[in-house]
Amino acid sequence: MVLIVKKEVLIKTAFITLGQLLKEESIVDSGGQAKWYLREHAVSVNNEPDDRRGRKLYPGDSVDVPDVGLFFIRQNQSAETTEKDA
């Protein structure tokens, strides 16, 4: 049995790339692996297939990684507060 996760991914910047997401979630170890992984697996961004490791993911986007899980990109609220206060 494969455990599929649903997870919010909090980002402190305006966006994160698809390759960075795969690395941060320990799905791959490097950018080179991300490129291969995206060629071999049908990853979807907002229900549309996407194999670009440089694809920018913004708050509100969702990423479906087959046999791994569904990831929701969210802005880290404390980062927003810090930027506004500065």
Residue ranges covered by each domain of the chain: 5-85
Nearest to 62, CA basis, from 46, 74, 48:
46
Classify each residue of 42-76 as buried b or exposed e, where b means 16 or more C-beta atoms within 10 Å of its C-beta: ebebeeeeeeebebebebebebbbeebbebebeee
Under the banding of pLDDT at 50, 70 and 90, the label for residue 82 is: very low
53-78 pLDDT, tens per residue? 999 999 999 999 999 999 999 998 76
Q: Is the domain defined by 5-85 classed in CATH 3.10.290.10?
A: yes
Mean pLDDT, residues 7-21 taken together: 96
Q: Are 21 and 69 in contact (CB under 8 A)?
A: no
Residues 6+ apart with CB under 8 A from 6: 69, 70, 72
